[in-house]
């Protein structure tokens, strides 16, 4: 790399999960603190951060094609952008990226991006650098303050994973489970609310594994943190994701019956309905224990919307075992779901297991699964028609004049009314579609 000018504009492109979105926002804040401005729409940025995801295959190939595209676009306007690769591909394949892509000036892992500023100073001098260290919790205290945010904000409270599901790269890319300290989180949440957030989603790869010590020095779980955040007067809604069935606590279940600001929605991945497959996945829950857990949520919060993640075609999955996944879907009646074809990941135990399922079989199973999930989501939406609820307006809709927000059950609700982003609207849900609802405004308040 040749020495170059200090970048004036940046763009952060985040792929993958919401934790990457959060990290992307924090990197943006860090760059802005160095006086670099976000590139305007359609403009080529001087510095591009590719904040990557490694969860399924082709992710790495996508990084290389993105790098190629950025170089080409840069040539057209006569500048070589400084390219940084961040996120989980950076963590997993840092050295390889450096070797294969000379255009990349920086490779920075998800636990090291607070050092991006120093790395950038070196890149400007023509020095390439890689940082994939995992310093324990050093990142958050080293990052700059939160800036102005949207009405809905993410807050990472827990990182990493010790579960080692046999198909998954996250324990390798994000490291061991850590919980951020209680006081640091209460402080960041208060700053987010001050900056305009009215809804906060607490994030973690296993968010319900979060533990900490409250102001009185008592050990608390995620429900203790939620109870504290619920005291912030201008914070109206609290959500959390993603939970693991094994880390669920009585306190968190009870919280759903007691805290109005905690939204009636639970994302609890099950992956498969077959106990044999679950065991081979190292999930350490059964179909039955999972269903019992959901029942307890429904007892304290009968209207709770449930969502899950599913993998079809895990090595050795038979047609009968796949049928068990359809059975659990039918038994639960999910309001939303994410479903994936199994993707072998280098270095994970499942990648070398016998009985890899042919692509066509996976395609066909995914289609059948999605037909069931789609039917249930539509049914959930139709059952919501006639309800009155609050909707927090988040963005403009696709049609002119249309505004879009979220119901307490995380459904998209659109309005053809004159509303502002950040309004909290009392609405009647009047019409259901497969993936959204139409609302009628009864009352508007600026949240």
Residue numbers belonging to the annotated binding site for [4Fe-4S] cluster:
17, 53, 88, 161, 165, 168
Tell me whether residue 90 or residue 393 sits nearer to ligand F3S (CB atom). 90
Which of the choices ligand SAH, ligand SF4, ligand F3S, none does residue 56 contact, using the CB cut-off of 5 to 8 A by kind?
Answer: ligand SAH
Tell me whether residue 244 or residue 301 sits nearer to ligand SF4 (CB atom). 244
Q: Give the residue among 396, 393, 385, 399 at the shortest CA–CA distance from 433.
A: 385
Residue 198 engages ligand SF4 in binding (rule: CB under 6 A): no
Measured distance CA(50)–CA(420) in Å, rounded: 31
Binding track over 58-97 against ligand F3S, x by CB under 6 A: -----------------------------xx---------
Residue 171 engages ligand SF4 in binding (rule: CB under 6 A): yes
Residue 174 engages ligand F3S in binding (rule: CB under 6 A): yes
Tell me whether residue 29 or residue 275 sits nearer to ligand SF4 (CB atom). 275
Out of 118, 164, 219, 443, name the contact with ligand SF4 by CB under 6 A.
164
Out of 50, 55, 106, 230, name the contact with ligand F3S by CB under 6 A.
55
Q: How far is the CB of 267 from ligand SAH (least distance, A)?
A: 8
> Which one of 28-36, 167-175, 206-214, 242-250 is the stretch in contact with ligand F3S (CB under 6 A)?
167-175
Which residues from 234-253 bind ligand SAH, rule CB under 6 A? 242
- Residue ranges for the known binding site are 17, 53, 88, 161, 165, 168
Phi then psi for 299, rounded to 5 degrees? -65, -40
**Could you give the maximum distance between any two Cα atoms of the chain, in Å?**
63
Residue 256 engages ligand SF4 in binding (rule: CB under 6 A): no
Residues binding ligand SAH (CB under 6 A): 17, 55-56, 167-168, 170, 205-206, 242, 269, 271, 309, 311, 340, 342-343, 345
Q: Which residues bind ligand SF4 (CB under 6 A)?
A: 161, 163-165, 168, 170-171, 205-206, 244
């Amino acid at each position: 790399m040749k020495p170059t000018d200090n970048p004036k504009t940046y763009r952060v492109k985040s792929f993958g999960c919401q934790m990457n979105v959060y990290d992307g926002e924090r990197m943006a804040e860090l760059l802005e603190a160095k006086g670099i401005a976000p590139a305007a729409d359609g403009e080529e940025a001087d510095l591009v951060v590719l904040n990557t995801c490694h969860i399924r295959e082709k992710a790495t190939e996508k990084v290389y094609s993105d790098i190629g595209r950025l170089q080409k676009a840069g040539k057209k306007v006569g500048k070589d952008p400084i390219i940084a690769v961040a996120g989980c591909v950076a963590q997993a394949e840092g050295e390889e990226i450096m070797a294969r892509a000379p255009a990349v000036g920086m490779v920075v892992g998800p636990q090291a991006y607070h050092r991006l500023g120093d790395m950038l100073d070196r890149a400007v001098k023509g020095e390439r650098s890689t940082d994939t260290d995992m310093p324990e919790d050093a990142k958050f205290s080293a990052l700059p303050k939160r800036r102005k945010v949207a009405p809905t904000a993410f807050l990472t409270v827990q990182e990493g994973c010790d579960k080692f599901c046999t198909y998954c790269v996250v324990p390798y890319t994000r490291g061991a489970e850590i919980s951020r300290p209680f006081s640091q989180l209460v402080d960041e949440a208060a700053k987010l609310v001050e900056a305009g957030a009215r809804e906060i989603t607490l994030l973690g790869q296993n968010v319900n594994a979060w533990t900490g010590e409250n102001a009185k020095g008592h050990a608390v779980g995620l429900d203790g943190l939620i109870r504290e955040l619920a005291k912030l007067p201008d914070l109206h809604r609290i959500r959390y994701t993603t939970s693991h069935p094994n880390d669920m606590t009585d306190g968190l279940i009870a919280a759903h019956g007691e805290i109005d600001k905690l939204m009636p929605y639970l994302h609890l991945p099950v992956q498969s309905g077959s106990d044999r497959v679950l065991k081979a996945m190292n999930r350490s829950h059964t179909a039955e224990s999972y269903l019992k857990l959901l029942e307890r949520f429904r007892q304290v919060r009968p209207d709770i919307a449930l969502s899950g993640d599913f993998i079809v075609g895990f090595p050795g999955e038979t047609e009968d075992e796949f049928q068990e996944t359809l059975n659990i879907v039918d038994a639960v009646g999910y309001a939303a779901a994410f479903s994936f074809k199994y993707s072998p990941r280098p270095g994970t135990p499942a990648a070398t297991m016998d009985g890899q399922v042919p692509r066509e079989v996976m395609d066909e199973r995914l289609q059948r699964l999605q037909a069931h999930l789609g039917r249930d989501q539509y049914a959930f939406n139709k059952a919501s028609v006639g309800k009155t609820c609050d909707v927090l307006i988040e963005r403009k809709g696709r049609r002119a004049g249309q505004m879009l927000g979220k119901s307490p059950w995380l459904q998209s609700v659109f309005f053809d009314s004159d509303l502002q982003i950040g309004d909290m609207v009392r609405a009647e849900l009047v019409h259901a579609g497969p993936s959204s609802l139409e609302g009628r405004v009864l009352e508007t308040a600026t949240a």
